[in-house]
Structure formats: C-alpha cells, structure tokens
C-alpha cells in the first residue's frame, strides 16, 4: 500500500561517488553504482571478493543479501542465467554509499546463479554501561569473596563441567546475518512518520531505515524517472520481510530500467514507512565509460557589470548543481586568450555559493567565468562570460 503524500520538499542535489579501497576498486571498475562491464568478468564467473563466491539456491531471480555484523556492503558482482537473447554475464557494481543490506537482481533477468560481495567496516558503538556499573559493584562484593571462596571448594569443580557444554554452540552465531540498526527517530510523542532519507543520485538511492520503524512498513520503494525512452516508475518490493538497516537500491538492476536510455532525470521518490517524499530534478547522462554522471549546471551568474578602478565587482550568488568532486573555480581571461584561476569557490550542501571578485587595477574590460571542472560522477560546466567594464 502506498503511503499518502504530505508536503514534499524540493532539495537541490549534488552527486558524489564512493571511493572504494584500492584492491576492491581494481575488481570493481565502476562509477557511481552503474555497471561498467569489466573485460575480465565478461565471461565466466564473478571474481572471489570478500564474501567468497556465494551460490544462489533454487530458482530465484532476486535475492536480498545482508552484511555480517560489523560490516557493510560497498559493492558486488552478480551473475544470472539470463533471459532469452541475453547472457547473464557477470557485472560489477560499486554502491554510492555503504549499506547493510541490498537487493540483488541481474539487469539481464533470469535466475541468479551466484554473487560475490565487497565489504566495508562499520564503526562500533562504544558501550558506556559496563565501565559505570563494574566499579560500583566491585568494592561491595570484594570483601565477601575471600571469606566464601575457601569454604566452597565445590564451585571450581562445577564451573569447568558447564563450560565445554555451552562453547560448541557459539561458533554458529557469526554465520547468522546481523543488520546493525540505525538510530531511532521516535521522540516523546512516538515514532516520527516524517523521517527523511538522502537525495537520490543518478545511479541509485540509499535509505537508512530508522532503528525503531514499525514492522511491515518498509516493503516498497518507488522511483519515478523520465528518460529519453519514456517516463517510468521503478518499484522495489521485498516479499520476504521488511528492510532494515541501510539499504541500497540500484536503478540499473531493476527489470524495467531502460537499458538503451542515454539521458534521464530522477523526479520523485516514495519510500514505504515515511510520509516524506523527495521531489527534484537530478539530470543524468551516460558518460564516456558507460557509467551514469550528473549533469552540472550553474544558475544565477550575471553577464555584465560596470565598476570603477580600485573597486571590485559586486559579489554574485550562484547555485552549482551536481558540481562533482573537483573544485569550482573563478577564472579570469588572460591577455593571451587563456584562463587563469583567481580563487576557489566552495558551494554548500545545497549547491549555493557566493562568488567574490578581485579589485580592478586598471581601465578596460575584465572577463570572468565560473568553472566546475567535473569528475567521474559529474559532467562539469562553465558559466557564461561575465564582462566587467572598468571606468575611472
């Protein structure tokens, strides 16, 4: 059942790519979550990653995998039998952010044969209760312990008998998948049904489900995407329970993802279990290496102004959407016709930034532009030229 819409927000979006460890990155030649077919894995099986090569039993075209306790999933390789006309060849995915659980479904469809996961670490939460309680109890019990210990010699005899009986059961526990819970969002008034999640990227959505989310509330995730092949809504549904922890949803692995799409815009997201709906426009294209990249845009930049010698042009308020990982710089045209960097501009989380200009030292015309150089996750962009006429 879909959750009713309530007052969606429209945040601006910036795309960032996950930096994997050097060894894992060599095995996962992908960017921002979408598959870049690796020549080494174009035929045969997935490479043996951190989880080992795990065989998928039965006839399953979709499976939800969970990281072991203390670990996260940062990438994976997946192989299937494929549908008619496809090979189901291994493909490798690097997730936008570490997750504790992820849905695996091959883009070629068909029953899954095996997968292999790349793990990351989870920060362990310090336990503060034990240090506090132990010192308090220690002084109280210490004086009585020496008196009773000589009187009861039978205590040491019974202890060793119980220990070997219980110990063989413990090695089985680490094999059971454990999902570290996220912090609860409920307060004095109860669970917050307006909890939020991070903005989507061009390649996927990462949802950190609250630790106190009620049962049977997190089964559906819907993402509406407008592509050059038409608009469609991708529905991610889990039949065998509810999602918990932090879950990654990769758009390209959905069976209705248009494989031939070259451009698309993520427009709307609905996550079961919250009234919050994300709305915006994350513009994307397929980059040179076949991976999705965000389309960088610069808004609010003016194109002409006039100042006196010794003064600087008035600061400009701009918005740089999907700037990428590399710096945004203010550049000035040189006498030779090139561009020199004047300063670095740092947009905030919403992409907003203030551009300040240097003082003009002589009469004439100075020409400036704002340049977002882009990166593996963004196209980069240059603004129009700002012509500053300098008078006496």
**pTM, full prediction:** 0.58
Three-class SS state of 333: strand
Asked if residue 243 and residue 339 are part of one domain, the reply reads no
Tokens 């959750």, located at residue: 3
pLDDT, tens digit, 9 for 90 and up, residues 304-319 = 999 999 999 999 999 9
Kindly tell me the sign of the dihedral angle through the C-alpha atoms of 260, 261, 266, 268. Answer: negative
Cα angle 197, 203, 206 (rounded to 5 degrees) comes to 25
Strands across the sheet with 63-66, in order? 63-66, 101-104, 246-250, 204-208
Position 334 scores a pLDDT of: 96
The neighbouring-strand residues paired with 114 are 55, 79
| 245 compared with 200, residue with greater pLDDT | 200
Pick the more confident residue, 68 or 3.
68
Rg of the chain taking only CA atoms, in angstroms: 28
Distance in angstroms (rounded) separating the CA atoms of residues 329 and 298: 12
What's the mean pLDDT in 267-271? 96
Query: pLDDT tens for residues 87-125?
Result: 888 877 878 778 888 888 887 778 899 999 988 865 344
DSSP letter at 187?
B
Domain final residue pick, 292, 308, 332: 292
Say yes or no: 318 and 208 in one domain: no
User: Can you give the pLDDT at residue 337?
Assistant: 94
pLDDT at 87: 84
Q: CA dist 7 to 10, 135, 282, 314, 346, Å? A: 10, 51, 19, 36, 30
Residues 78 and 210 in one domain: yes
Residue 63 lies in a domain: yes
Give the mean model confidence (pLDDT) for residues 180-198. Answer: 86
Q: By residue range, what is the domain housing residue 248?
A: 22-123+182-292
- The helix (H) or strand (E) run that includes residue 162 is helix 154-166
CB 285 within 8 A of CB 295: yes
The gap from C-alpha 324 to its chain's centroid, in whole angstroms, comes to: 14
How far is 91 from 82, CA to CA, in rounded Å?
12
Contact 115, 132 (CB under 8 A): no
Q: Is residue 384 part of a domain?
A: yes
**Structure token pair of residue 340:** 């020199």
Do both 74 and 190 map to the same domain?
Answer: yes
Predicted pLDDT at 289:
67
Last residue within a domain, chosen from 242, 275, 292: 292
Residue 324, pLDDT > 90, answer no
Percentage of the chain lying above the pLDDT 70 cut: 73
State the pairing for strand pair 263-271/277-286: antiparallel
CA distances from 347 to 6, 154, 299, 319, 385 (A): 29, 71, 12, 8, 20
């Amino acid at each position: 059942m879909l959750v009713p819409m309530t007052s969606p927000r429209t945040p601006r979006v910036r795309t960032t790519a996950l930096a994997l460890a050097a060894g894992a990155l060599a095995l996962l030649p992908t960017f921002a979550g979408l598959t870049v077919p690796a020549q080494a894995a174009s035929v045969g099986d997935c490479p043996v990653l951190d989880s080992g090569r795990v065989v998928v039993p039965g006839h399953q075209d979709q499976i939800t995998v969970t990281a072991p306790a203390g670990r996260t999933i940062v990438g994976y390789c997946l192989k299937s039998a494929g549908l008619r006309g496809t090979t189901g060849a291994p493909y490798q995915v690097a997730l936008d952010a570490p997750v504790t659980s992820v849905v695996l479904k091959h883009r070629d469809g068909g029953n899954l044969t095996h997968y292999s996961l790349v793990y990351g670490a989870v920060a362990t939460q310090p336990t503060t209760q034990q240090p506090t309680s132990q010192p308090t109890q220690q002084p109280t019990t210490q004086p009585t312990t020496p008196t009773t210990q000589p009187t009861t010699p039978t205590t040491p005899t019974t202890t060793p008998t119980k220990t070997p009986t219980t110990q063989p059961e413990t090695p089985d526990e680490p094999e059971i998948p454990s999902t570290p819970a996220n912090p609860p969002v409920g307060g004095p008034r109860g669970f917050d049904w307006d909890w939020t999640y991070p903005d989507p990227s061009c390649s996927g959505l990462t949802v950190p489900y609250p630790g106190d989310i009620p049962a049977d509330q997190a089964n559906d995730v819907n993402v509406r995407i407008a592509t050059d092949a038409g608009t469609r809504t991708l529905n991610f549904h889990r039949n065998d329970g509810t999602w918990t922890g932090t879950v990654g949803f990769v758009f390209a692995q959905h069976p209705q993802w248009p494989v031939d799409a070259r451009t698309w815009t993520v427009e709307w997201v609905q996550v079961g279990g919250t009234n919050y709906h994300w709305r915006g426009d994350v513009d994307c294209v397929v980059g040179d290496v076949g991976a999705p990249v965000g389309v960088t845009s610069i808004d609010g930049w003016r194109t002409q102004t006039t100042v006196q010698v010794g003064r600087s042009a008035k600061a400009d308020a701009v918005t740089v959407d999907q700037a990428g990982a590399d710096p945004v710089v203010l550049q000035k045209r040189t006498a030779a016709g090139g561009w020199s960097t004047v300063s670095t501009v740092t947009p905030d989380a919403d992409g907003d930034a203030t551009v300040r200009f240097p003082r003009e030292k002589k009469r004439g015309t100075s020409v400036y532009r704002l340049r977002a150089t882009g990166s593996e996750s963004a196209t980069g962009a240059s603004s129009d030229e700002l012509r500053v006429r300098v008078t006496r």
